[in-house]
Structure 1
Amino acid sequence: MLSKKIFSNMERDVIGEVMNISLGSSATSLSSILGKRVEITVPHINVTTAQEFSYKQLEPAIGVEINYIEGLKGVNVMIWKRSDAKIILEALLNKKIPDEEFEMDEISISAICEVMNQMMGSAATALSEFLGKHINISTPIAFEIDDNNEFKSKYFAEDDEIVVVSFDLSIEGELQSQFINVMEVSLAKDIVSNFLRETEKSTSNEIQIEENNNIEKEDAVNKKIDTIIKQNNDYEEIIKRERMKTNQNQKEKEETFVNVRPVEYESFDDEEEVLSEEQLSNLELIMMVPLTISVEIGKTSKQIKDILEISPGTIIELDKQAGALVDIIVNGKLIAKGEVVVVNDNFGVRVVEILKKDELMKITL
């Protein structure tokens, strides 16, 4: 018989919010895998006993077992319609599977497990951020539910109290359905207690920070303003000096050549400012900051089934033609294009086309 007041209304709200956030992250992961819009919404929470628990609306059904091995302790079982699993596999493989040919064989189970692994991995990451602790799960185990009683007895005793969370599932252009998530009360309690503990800690930190800010607020603001003013003045002097050098060099070049179209420059003050030793030292330090250079010859995207089929000798076609210029990337930003060469038995790149100088400055600043 079900105990009364296992969860307060607030605790139910916590469970719903946690599950909504974690499974919402799973929807994003599934959407990336299938290349279609996926929504997992409206969690409905029901606390019942294993004996009274029913999932007839999902039959014939498949189960997916997820064990929490770090951060939380317990077993989480997801129950899906067998037909929904088939539709997901069809979207994954990009081909229709006749009903009479669909079987929960090793290949189907492996594919479902991989999809669930991606989904629940994303859910565990979201849960980690929400609860403020590292959460890790085992590899999901998918199976076909042939016997209802056998399934229940595997995970719960008849009088065990369990938490059943129902979700609405929508896959763009494919299906509108539901699936359920079943867990022991102890696991749900663990989730609630971790959430409340993290919330209390965050609130305490915010109060302490607010108190410290009230004490030192005026002094800190004044110091910050002084620092910003000083930094701005220093950088303005450095930039002004470099621009004056550039202007002078350009004038010398114009005197050397004839019939050159004049170039207009920004006007500068006549008085030349000299950098201090400290400013020169800072400029030298800035110029010595290392930047990572990488060369990208091309890229492509593949479905999971194609990735799983990769083996020694597999040829992967990229999105660039042979002989095309390669991208030269500095700190993740494209700055130039070039040709691949060989230098002393090492690959190198000859710069052929470079971006505007102002674009390079944006990267280095």
Structure 2
Amino acid sequence: MEPRDSSIENLLSPMDRDTIGEILNISMGSSATTVSTLLDQRVSITTPKVEVVKAQDFHFEALEPAIAVEINYVSGLSGKNVMVLKVSDVRVIVGLLLHTEFKEEDFVLDEMNLGAICEVMNQMMGASSTALSQFLSRSINISPPTSYKIENAEQFKSKYFEAYDPVVTVHFNLMIGDLVNSEFFNLMSPEFARELITSLGSGGEEGLKKEQEQGAQQTPPEPVTQQAAPQPAPQAVSAADPPTGPAAQKPDPQPAVPAVPAADPPVPPVSQPAAQVAPAPQASPARQAAPQPDAPAAPASAYVPAASAPVLHTAGQQPNQPGYAVKGASYQSFDEQDNVLTSGQNSNLNMILSVPLEVTVEIGRTTKKIKEILDFTSGTILELDKQAGSQVDVFVNGKPIAKGDVVVVDDYYGVRITEISSNDEIMKLL
């Protein structure tokens, strides 16, 4: 088979690789918190290093003998990824989970030990899918992980990839207390990696360039808006000026004053001096300062265009309305209720509201026979009726009132409520 023409290095840009590393760093950080609680040890999963290589060039001799854990995504994302871990690390993890110390020569990957590591991976990847759901703003579910020992490296690689197929490898450092200081790999196809980037809404370098171009196109209109803002000012002045005529040639702006009020449409007498009209309350201070004592009266023809022209109202001016009484709006006060509680009733209500109620969260249920329950031992695994990442039920005094998603806050489990009953329904249940 001939190598593909497309360059392996160009399948994912450096920005795409950083994006994948950041996504997996967040999801694996949540997984580390879950495994830490499960094993009662401090767990750290850090420093993701993303590379794209041909399947035939991927080597993991440093991890051999190794175990593979396959995770399939059933909703939210389409695809799978495979984790490759050291058997020695798995031995420590299973020993912590079962509270048993295994010697290296005595540890066998039998059904029980494989089931134990699958349970750890199920909890780990369940927390990872929950973190991805929150990060990508979509519901993501996985199928129960399957694990097996890698007997032959070439057969393992050919199970998922052709010899010249590109493989996205993500290298992680793994630390479990003082017991493990190791590493593991996460393998995925470029298509699955691209789906992660697309789900995040990142288009790599091209998306960043488009955002920069859009930002550059939106920047120039700002100074245009600032230059256009002062233009209405000269228009307002020109609207207040009288029309061309004999009065327009005079520097005295007194004839323009009667054009402002709307309640005085009659033409003032010719014999009335213009200086008497200037103190009108609607005139601006600038207009009041303009008249001079010795200014001659304007001819009557100067007022006719002002009366026939459209009446202009400045902000805050109202036409004179004869005989109207203006009253403020009155609104009903909702604070005044007929059934006002007395001090004794308030005291009783406060006592009722302060009663503590038991709040429990149920992640799932199962049914077992008495014989099976009597066979329970330390390390027994119970399979519940809900998948990892599903919503959990919130109960108050045994009554279901809400649903939510499991979150981790400061190394403690919590629930983010997504659905809740109304207060009336809650009171009826309680």
TM-score by length of 2: 0.50
Do the aligned partners of 2:8 and 2:54 also contact (CA within 8 Å) in 1? no
Equivalent in 127, 136, 141 of residue 131 of structure 1 = 136
Determine the C-alpha separation between the residues in 1 that align with 2:102 and 2:353: 57
Determine the C-alpha separation between the residues in 2 that align with 1:61 and 1:188: 24
Determine the C-alpha separation between the residues in 2 that align with 1:91 and 1:17: 29
Equivalent in 69, 72, 81 of residue 74 of structure 2 = 69
Matches within 5 A, 1:34-45: 34-45=39-50
Do the aligned partners of 1:131 and 1:198 also contact (CA within 8 Å) in 2? no
Matches within 5 A, 1:1-365: 1=3, 2-196=7-201, 276-277=337-338, 280=341, 293-294=357-358, 311-313=372-374
C-alpha change, 1:13 and 1:198, in structure 2 (3 Å) is closer
SS of residue matched to 1:277: coil
Offset of residue 173 of structure 1: 1.9
Offset of residue 314 of structure 1: 7.4
Offset of residue 90 of structure 1: 1.4
Determine the C-alpha separation between the residues in 2 that align with 1:37 and 1:98: 22
Do the aligned partners of 1:87 and 1:174 also contact (CA within 8 Å) in 2? yes
Cα RMSD, aligned residues only:
3.7
Gaps of 5+ in 2: 212-332, 361-367, 378-394, 398-430
SS of residue matched to 1:170: strand
Determine the C-alpha separation between the residues in 1 that align with 2:37 and 2:16: 32
The number of aligned residues is 237
Determine the C-alpha separation between the residues in 2 that align with 1:4 and 1:91: 40
Overall identity of the aligned pairs, in %: 40
Larger Rg: 2
Do the aligned partners of 2:130 and 2:140 also contact (CA within 8 Å) in 1? yes
Do the aligned partners of 2:8 and 2:53 also contact (CA within 8 Å) in 1? no
Determine the C-alpha separation between the residues in 2 that align with 1:294 and 1:112: 34
C-alpha change, 1:313 and 1:80, in structure 2 (3 Å) is closer
Determine the C-alpha separation between the residues in 2 that align with 1:69 and 1:289: 44
Do the aligned partners of 2:8 and 2:52 also contact (CA within 8 Å) in 1? no
Gaps of 5+ in 1: 204-229, 235-274, 297-306, 317-329, 333-365
Deviation track 1:127-175 (CA, whole Å, cap 9, x = no partner) reads 0111111111111001000011110111111111110000000111211
1:81 maps to amino acid: K
Determine the C-alpha separation between the residues in 2 that align with 1:24 and 1:150: 31
Do the aligned partners of 2:78 and 2:192 also contact (CA within 8 Å) in 1? yes
